[in-house]
Amino acid sequence: MNDMTNKWIGQRTIRPDGADKVTGRAQYSADVNMPGMMWGKVLRSPHAHARIRGIDTSKAEALPGVKAIVTAKDIVEFPVDKSVMLGIQDMRWMCRNVMAREKALFHGHPVAAVAAISEEVAAAACALIEVDYEVLPHVIEIEDAIKPDAPILHEWNKHEGKSSNITGTMVLKTGDVEAGFKDADVIVERSFTTRPVHQGYIEPHSCTVSYAADGRVTIWSSSQGQFMVRAMTSLLTGIPQSNIRAIPAEIGGGFGGKTIIYLEPVAVMLSKKSGRPVKMVMTRDEVQRATGPAPGSMSTVKIGAKKDGTIVAAQATFYVQAGGLPGAPLRGPVGCSLSAYAIPNVLSVGYEVVSNRSKVAAYRAPGGPHGAFAAESVLDEIAEKLGLDPLDLRIRNSAKPGDKALYGPTFGQVTFKETIEAIKAHPHYKAPLDRNPRPGVKRGRGVASGFWYNAGGESSVQVNITEDGNVVVTTGHPDIGGSRASISNVVAELLGVEHSRVNVIIGDTMTIGFSNLTGGSRVTFASAMVATASTEKVIGQLKERAAKIWNIDAEAVKWEDGMALPAGDNAGKFPPLSLKELAAKANEMGGPIGTQVQLNTTGADPGFATHVVDVEVDVDLGIIRVLRYTAAQDVGRALHPGYVEGQIQGGVVQGIGWALSEEYLYDKNGKVDNATFLDYRMPVCSDVPMIDAVMLEIPNPKHPQGVRGVGEAPIVPPLAAIANAVYDALGKRFSALPMSPPRVTERLEQP
Partner 1 sequence: MTDIRYLAPRTLDEAVGAFAAAAGGARILAGGTDLLVQMRAGVAKPGTIIDIKKIPEMTAIEDLGGGAFRIGAAVSGAVLAEHAGFRKAWPGVLEAVNLIGSKQVQGRASPGGNLCNASPAGDSVPAMVAAGAVVTIQGPNGRRELPVEKVPAGPGRTNLTPGEIVVSFTLPARPKGSGDAYLRMIPRTEMDIAVVGMGVNLVLEGGVVKAARVGLGAVAPTVLLVEDAARALIGSRLDDAALEAAAAACRAACKPINDKRGTIAYRIKVAGVLLKRTAAIAARRAGGN
Q: Residues in the site for partner 1, rule: CB under 8 A? A: 118, 120-121, 124, 620-623, 625, 661, 665, 673-674, 678-679, 681, 683-684, 686-687, 740-742, 745-746
Helix (H, G, I), strand (E, B), or coil: what is residue 4? coil
CB of residue 650 to partner 1, shortest distance in Å? 18
How far, in Å, are 173, 489, 492 from residue 10 at the CA level? 41, 8, 12
Between CA 675 and CA 659 the distance in angstroms is 19
CB of residue 747 to partner 1, shortest distance in Å? 12
Q: Toward partner 1, which CB reaches closer, 238 or 440?
A: 440
Q: Toward partner 1, which CB reaches closer, 19 or 621?
A: 621
Cβ-based neighbour number of residue 732 at 10 Å: 12
For residue 195, what is the DSSP state? -
Q: Toward partner 1, which CB reaches closer, 641 or 741?
A: 741
DSSP string, 196-215: -EE---SSPPEEEEEE-TTS
Q: Toward partner 1, which CB reaches closer, 289 or 484?
A: 289
Q: Toward partner 1, which CB reaches closer, 60 or 422?
A: 60
Q: Toward partner 1, which CB reaches closer, 1 or 621?
A: 621
Q: β-strands 162-163, 577-578: how paired?
A: unpaired
Phi first, then psi, for residue 89 (nearest 5°) are -100, 135
Q: Toward partner 1, which CB reaches closer, 85 or 678?
A: 678
CA 431 to chain CA mean position, Å: 34
Between CA 212 and CA 216 the distance in angstroms is 5
CB of residue 60 to partner 1, shortest distance in Å? 15
Between CA 629 and CA 649 the distance in angstroms is 9
CB of residue 622 to partner 1, shortest distance in Å? 7
CA angle, 123 as apex, 118 and 128 as ends, to 5°? 125
H or E element, residue 721: helix 718-730
Phi first, then psi, for residue 714 (nearest 5°) are -65, -20
C-beta of residue 279 within 8 angstroms of C-beta of residue 506: no
Phi first, then psi, for residue 49 (nearest 5°) are -155, 115
Which candidate, 270, 286, 280, places its Cα nearest to that of 220? 280
Which candidate, 28, 376, 30, 359, places its Cα nearest to that of 198? 359
CB of residue 661 to partner 1, shortest distance in Å? 6
CA 465 to chain CA mean position, Å: 33
C-beta of residue 414 within 8 angstroms of C-beta of residue 398: yes
Q: Toward partner 1, which CB reaches closer, 56 or 679?
A: 679
C-beta of residue 50 within 8 angstroms of C-beta of residue 137: no
CB of residue 253 to partner 1, shortest distance in Å? 18
CB of residue 666 to partner 1, shortest distance in Å? 10
Q: Toward partner 1, which CB reaches closer, 80 or 123?
A: 123
CB of residue 625 to partner 1, shortest distance in Å? 8
CB of residue 191 to partner 1, shortest distance in Å? 23
C-beta of residue 311 within 8 angstroms of C-beta of residue 378: no
CB of residue 658 to partner 1, shortest distance in Å? 14
CB of residue 194 to partner 1, shortest distance in Å? 18
Expressed in angstroms, the distance from the first to the final Cα of the chain is 60
CB of residue 441 to partner 1, shortest distance in Å? 12
CB of residue 471 to partner 1, shortest distance in Å? 41
Q: Toward partner 1, which CB reaches closer, 19 or 665?
A: 665
CB of residue 116 to partner 1, shortest distance in Å? 11
Q: Toward partner 1, which CB reaches closer, 498 or 620?
A: 620
Between CA 555 and CA 429 the distance in angstroms is 54
DSSP string, 330-398: THHHHHHTTTTB--SEEEEEEEEEE-SSPPP---SSTTHHHHHHHHHHHHHHHHHHHT--HHHHHHHHB
C-beta of residue 247 within 8 angstroms of C-beta of residue 194: no
CB of residue 151 to partner 1, shortest distance in Å? 24
Between CA 110 and CA 680 the distance in angstroms is 22
CB of residue 277 to partner 1, shortest distance in Å? 21
Helix axes 483-495, 523-550, angle to 10 degrees: 30
Alpha helices in 36-88 (DSSP H): 58-62
Which candidate, 279, 265, 233, places its Cα nearest to that of 67? 279
Long-range contacts of 500-505 (CB under 8 A, 24+ apart): 501/469, 501/470, 501/471, 502/470, 502/471, 502/473, 503/16, 503/470, 503/471, 503/472, 503/473, 504/16, 504/473, 504/474, 504/475, 505/472, 505/473, 505/474, 505/475
